[in-house]
Amino acid sequence: MILDTEQIKRDEGFRSLPYKCTAGCLTIGYGTNLDAGLSEKEAEYLLQSRLNDSCDELLVALPWVNDTHAECQRVLSNMTYQMGLTRLLKFKKTLAAMEAGNWQEAKAEMLDSNWARQTPNRANRLAERIGNITTV
């Protein structure tokens, strides 16, 4: 099957924010009907794309993350995806402890936050993973 992506892009136009199309459906992007929902494949694609973008931003802002423990990288990618880089960067004591490899201090700082009070299950799980790191 020959696809004509460029023609469809031209005909549909791009909208980064949801809007109502002429049929009254909530639509986004290049004519994607949100009222019809997303397939799991589409949701997976969005997740991977946004996770990659957020991790790229993280590595630009905090280059040391690339050289830290793999488990710390996984936790930071999770936190960045959830709250965004701007909010993550407010975790100054947590990030300083992580950069220094002081995992117990990082764990304590993670749990002493509004984030931990707002999303306790996720915060406790991620903090526990940091606290369990034994090597750099």
Structural domain contains residue 78: yes
Mean of the pLDDT values across residues 111-121?
97
User: How many C-beta atoms surround the C-beta of residue 103 within 10 A?
Assistant: 22
Q: Are residues 57 and 121 in the same domain?
A: yes
Q: Which residue from 90, 83, 27, 9 is spatially nearest to 50, judged by alpha carbons?
A: 83
Contact between 136 and 101 under an 8 Å Cβ cutoff? The reply is yes
Q: What is the pLDDT of residue 135?
A: 73
Cα separation, 71 vs 133, in Å, equals: 7
Structural domain contains residue 65: yes
Q: What is the CATH number for 100? A: 1.10.530.40
Q: Are residues 105 and 123 in the same domain?
A: yes
Q: Are residues 63 and 117 in the same domain?
A: yes
Q: Are residues 29 and 47 in the same domain?
A: no
pLDDT digits (tens, 9 = 90+) for 21-34: 999 999 999 999 99
Please report which residue ranges of 62-119 form alpha helices under DSSP H: 70-83, 85-88, 92-100, 103-111, 114-118
Q: Are residues 20 and 47 in the same domain?
A: no
Name the percent of the chain lying above pLDDT 90: 96
Domain that holds residue 30: 7-36
